[in-house]
């Protein structure tokens, strides 16, 4: 029988802004960082880099501490992956989002990273290739199916324009790096700021950063008459690539957390990040960005408006925008 009492929403991830920006004085929260950075792409990139570096350092300190209790298991994903735990259980959290879909080059990069991580976390759940996504804007989360359908019906007329927005407004992301905490890992990027421009891209194009894209999509969604109820507006552009659903990769036979195995995971992540920086960052390649080291949001596929139980990359597509 299906569970009558849904498992509480899994929110062990805290979306703390570590960039030093306060959004409280802005009707559009994305304007806060743009204003603080004087609308300067270099400064915007610096804020994104500061946030992800501080977050990785914060999470590392927590996880290698001798009192760290162990990785955080996602109880809902565990029940989806292992139906015998609670037969008939379904994820109760219906959401509405606008996603960016990675190019094949980015998907290939993620797959290689995922395979490396399996060496230290063989039981980690890996985000399937077709489910990989970058959340440009979360409209709302943890609602009922009926509530989401009502929102979609209200927005429907304007969704085509929103999902096609990246065809003419092209924000570039560079400098891949793995971000992590006790529950999940992600591949993150930062907004470009004029590095190694393609022949079809100008310095003026770089003025429109990924943060500007998030700001504009927020405004467009508000203009539909539906309120945006997003969990976070932190300066981050990331694709979740794996989650923990088993603790045994990091435990003693007794079931207690094994600090040496946690440290091995963190060390592996740092090794991967060193490789990513060496292979794909312009600073390590004479100012050039090798293939796979950048991504223009909207490349190959436009924005994907998606609804339903999509926490792990599923759900139902309302509309996929045109790519270039």
Q: What is the pLDDT along the chain (324 residues), one digit of tens a residue?
A: 344 444 444 544 445 666 666 667 789 999 999 999 999 999 999 999 999 999 999 999 999 999 999 999 999 999 999 999 999 999 999 999 999 999 999 999 999 999 999 999 999 999 999 999 999 999 999 999 999 999 999 999 999 999 999 999 999 999 999 999 999 999 999 999 999 998 999 999 999 999 999 999 999 999 999 999 988 789 999 999 999 999 999 999 888 999 999 999 999 999 999 999 999 999 999 999 999 999 999 999 999 999 999 999 999 999 999 999
H/E run at residue 145: helix 145-155
**What is the average pLDDT value for the chain, to the nearest integer?**
94
Q: Give Cα 33 to chain centroid, integer Å.
A: 19
How is residue 142 written in tokens?
């943890």
Q: What angle do CA 30, 74, 118 make, to 5 degrees?
A: 95
- Distance CA(240)–CA(91), nearest Å, equals 18
Q: How many CB atoms lie within 10 A of CB 187?
A: 25
The pLDDT assigned to 33 comes to 97
pLDDT tens for 283-302 read: 999 999 999 999 999 999 99
The pLDDT assigned to 48 comes to 98
How is residue 257 written in tokens?
């957390």
The pLDDT assigned to 255 comes to 86
Strand partners, 130: none
For the question of whether the overall pTM of this predicted structure is more than 0.85, the answer is yes
Phi, psi of 53 (to 5 degrees): -65, -45
> What domains lie within the chain, and their CATH numbers?
30-320 (3.90.1140.10)
pLDDT tens for 58-107 read: 999 999 999 999 999 999 999 999 999 999 999 999 999 999 999 999 99
The pLDDT assigned to 1 comes to 39
Q: Specify the long-range contacts of residues 17-23, CB closer than 8 Å, at least 24 apart.
A: 17/51, 17/232, 17/233, 17/234, 17/235, 18/50, 18/51, 18/54, 18/55, 18/58, 18/234, 19/47, 19/48, 19/50, 19/51, 19/54, 19/234, 19/235, 20/47, 20/50, 21/47, 21/235, 23/233
């Amino acid at each position: 029988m299906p569970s009558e009492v849904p498992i509480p929403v899994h929110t062990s991830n805290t979306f703390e802004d570590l960039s030093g920006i306060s959004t409280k004085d802005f009707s559009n929260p994305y304007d806060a960082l743009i204003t603080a950075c004087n609308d300067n792409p270099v400064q915007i990139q610096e804020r994104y880099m500061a946030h992800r570096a501080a977050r990785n350092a914060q999470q590392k300190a927590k996880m290698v501490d001798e009192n760290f209790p162990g990785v955080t298991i996602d109880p809902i994903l565990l029940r989806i992956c292992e139906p015998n735990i609670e037969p008939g259980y379904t994820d109760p959290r219906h959401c509405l989002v606008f996603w960016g879909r990675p190019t094949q080059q980015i998907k290939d990069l993620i797959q290689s990273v995922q395979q490396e991580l399996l060496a230290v976390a063989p039981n980690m759940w890996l985000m399937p290739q077709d489910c990989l996504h970058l959340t440009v804007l979360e409209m709302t989360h943890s609602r009922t199916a009926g509530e989401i359908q009502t929102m979609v019906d209200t927005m429907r007329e304007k969704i085509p324009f929103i999902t096609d927005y990246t065809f003419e407004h092209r924000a570039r992301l560079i400098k891949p790096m793995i971000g992590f905490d006790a529950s999940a890992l992600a591949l993150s990027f930062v907004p470009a700021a004029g590095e190694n421009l393609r022949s079809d891209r100008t310095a003026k194009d770089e003025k429109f950063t990924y943060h500007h894209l998030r700001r504009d999509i927020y405004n467009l969604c508000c203009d539909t008459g539906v309120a945006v109820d997003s969990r976070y507006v932190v300066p981050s552009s990331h694709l979740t690539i794996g989650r923990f659903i088993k603790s045994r990769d990091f435990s003693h036979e007794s079931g207690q957390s094994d600090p040496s195995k946690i440290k091995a995971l963190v060390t592996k992540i740092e090794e991967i990040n060193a490789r990513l920086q060496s292979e794909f960052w312009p600073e390590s390649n004479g100012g050039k960005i090798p293939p796979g080291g950048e991504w223009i949001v909207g490349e190959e596929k436009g924005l994907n408006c998606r609804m339903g139980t999509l926490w792990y990359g599923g759900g139902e597509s309302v509309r996929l925008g045109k790519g270039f």
